[in-house]
Amino acid sequence: MKIRLWPTILILIVVAVTVRLGFWQGDRAHQKEALNAHIVAFENAPAQRVGAQPMPLQLQSIEFHRVEARGEFLPDRVVFLDNRPYNDQPGFYVVMPLKLEGGGVVLVNRGWLPRNLADRTGIEHYDTPKGIVDVQGIARANATQAFELGHGGSAAHQEIRQNLDVASYAKETGLALQPFVIQQTNDTGDKLVRDWPAPTMGVERNYGYMLQWWGMAVVAIGFGLYAARRAAKKAKPVRPRKTNKPTLKAAVERVSRSGPRTRNRRKMQTQTRHARQPANKGSWNKGRWMLALVCAVPVIASYLMYYVFKPAGGTTSYGTLIDPQRPIPAQLIVTDEKGQSMPLKSLQGKWLMVIVNGSDCDEQCATRLYFMRQVRVLQSCERDRVVNIWLRTDDKPVSDVIKTAYPQPDTRMLVADGKSVAAWLPVDDGTKLTDHIFLVDPNGNLMMRFPKNPDPKKINADLGKLLKWSRIG
């Protein structure tokens, strides 16, 4: 079979591009699963108090967390976000600033309000609590975004807008706003609907696209093989040329011997022979049916992945998610390498991998320290966001070999009270506290526990996803 150069190169390029795009979509799906797990963990963490801090909170550290705020609504600054349907009924989101007791202001998406069908700009009646009110909800980067052509619908100094940017609204009003919006969840008797849609990652869509791209690669390969096979069938063998060419005299004699009847008879025989050949039964022969089937496979697979086999987000992590999360106890005091006491909570702000063991550090302890060090190193440029912590349950001296192999500040060796640590860190059934590696997020919440005799490659995969998609720490 003769292979043509340029068609082959073109098919190889198509295969390489579609396979790479399939892997890209698969990676996007894994990243979204990690982010979804992070969102679920944050939503189940203890609520953070807004306004208790002297400085504004960072969006990266608070987004998707449960929050609480106490203050007074400013109804004269309300903004109604248009084109927010609920159960196929048009309406608005009511976004109103809340002046915090501790200082500062935060925007609150109070809920959904139906539109007046007789007057598009008419606002139905709703109640606003007077005085100090307690608000509970989820911190979000904005009060949802709706599709918008241009920015006229979101211009400043309009009561009804399409979208609302927190930073722009702060400049417009001069309010010292927190950089997020509270999506209110508690009822304050104001006749607003708070049936908030759950954040969706669209993981199944990425898996469908992944199969579709890979299916296209298979189609390209199949089409190339099919085209090569047809070209081989159509190729005719080259007959060797005769060396003894007929002379002009012989040709004249052969034409003179064949009269008109002979020539007509030969013409009729040729037409009859051509007529006896079987007619083409159509273009949809067996080979083309197979090609059509191969082309349909990626489309069918993507639809099955999207509508039938929907993967559950957040279930692919190797470690066990701690639900609800457990914050570092404020009363958990540890002793550092210099003999000074400090709260363990002071280390929050980075991702903490934690083990618990006595200072003698047996073989199992040394193995877990080694795994933690290697996992941290594998994070490459992100490794400075991770700190390994060994909580020692006694104050005996640590061997020089361990100190040399795991120096500060990459690995902290802190003395802690064993009972206080055991009350904070949960274990699996049939295991001990010294069997696990624990993961604490930069907000100081215990969020994940890895099993006994862990696989460092899987720990690395979990931590890599969290570092890639988390904007804190």
Question: Would you tell me how many other CB atoms lie within 10 Å of the CB of residue 344?
Answer: 25
Residue 119 pLDDT > 60: yes
What pLDDT score does 31 carry?
Answer: 80
One-letter amino acid for residue 162 of the chain? Q
Q: Which residue has the tokens 């079979």?
A: 1
Residue at 29: amino acid letter: A
- Residue 142's nearest CA partner among 81, 98, 76 is 81
Span 207-213, average pLDDT: 86
Domains of the chain with CATH codes: 65-184 (no CATH), 320-469 (3.40.30.10)
Comparison of pLDDT for 439 and 234, the residue scoring more: 439
* Amino acid present at 12: L
For residue 155, how many other CB atoms are within 10 A of its CB? Answer: 12
- Judge whether 82 and 164 are in contact, CB under 8 Å: no
Question: How many angstroms separate the CA atoms of 249 and 229, rounded?
Answer: 46
The answer to whether the predicted template modeling score (pTM) of the entire model surpasses 0.85 is no
**Please, what is the angle between helix 5-43 and helix 456-469, to 10°?**
80
- 239: its two tokens: 């007959």
How far apart CA 354 and CA 346 sit, in angstroms, is: 15
Strand partners, 348: 350
Q: Is the pLDDT higher at 204 or at 257?
A: 204
The answer to which of 201-210, 259-268, 385-394, 438-447 has the lowest mean pLDDT is: 259-268
- Please say if the pLDDT value at position 283 is more than 50: no
Predicted pLDDT at 65: 85
User: Cα–Cα distance between 240 and 238 in angstroms, integer?
Assistant: 6
Buried b / exposed e over 422-448, threshold 16 CB at 10 Å, is eebbebeeeeebbbbbbbbbbbbbbbb
Q: Which of 191, 203, 78, 90 minimizes the C-alpha distance to 143?
A: 78
Under 8 Å CB-to-CB from 302, ≥6 apart: which residues? Answer: 208, 209, 211, 212, 215
Whether 108 has a pLDDT exceeding 90, the answer reads yes
Whether residue 129 contacts residue 191, with contact meaning beta carbons closer than 8 Å, is answered with no
pLDDT of residue 302: 64
In angstroms, the CA 11 to CA 24 distance is 20
Q: Which 8-state DSSP code applies to residue 381? A: G
Provide mean pLDDT across the span 230-236: 67
The answer to whether 82 touches 143, Cβ cutoff 8 Å, is no
For residue 137, is pLDDT > 60?
yes
Backbone angles phi, psi at 292, to 5 degrees: -65, -40
pLDDT at residue 274 tops 90: no
